């Protein structure tokens, strides 16, 4: 695979993780479960997914000239 394909594949993987984290939080909000162990785990999962996505974008911006 070339760099663009690698970027797209990793982006897809990370966005699935982020979507799952958001869906988990939305489910907890809908059931008014806004505290406790499950809420804390969901917040951590979301934070980790956001950090991974942000890191991926930062790394790719350094390589952006390869995609042009």
Q: What are phi and psi of 51, to 5 degrees?
A: -65, -40
Residue given tokens 């993987």 in the structure block? 13
The whole-number pLDDT of residue 66 equals: 56
Instruction: Give residue-wise pLDDT tens across range 46-62.
Output: 999 999 999 999 988 76
The per-residue pLDDT for 54 is: 95
3-state secondary structure 8-62: HHHHHHHHHHHHHHHHHHHHHHHCCCCCCHHHHHHHHHHHHHHHHHHHHHHHHHH
Which pLDDT belongs to residue 59? 86
Question: What is the model's pLDDT at position 65?
Answer: 57
Report whether pLDDT(63) > 60: yes
Look at residue 13 and tell me whether its pLDDT is greater than 90.
yes
**How far apart are the C-alpha atoms of 43 and 22, rounded to whole Å?**
9
């Amino acid at each position: 695979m070339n760099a663009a394909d690698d970027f797209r594949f990793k982006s897809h993987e990370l966005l699935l993780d982020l979507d799952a984290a958001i869906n988990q939080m939305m489910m907890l909000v809908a059931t008014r479960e806004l505290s406790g162990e499950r809420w804390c785990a969901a917040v951590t999962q979301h934070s980790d997914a956001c950090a991974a996505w942000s890191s991926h974008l930062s790394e790719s911006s350094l390589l952006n000239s390869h995609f042009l």
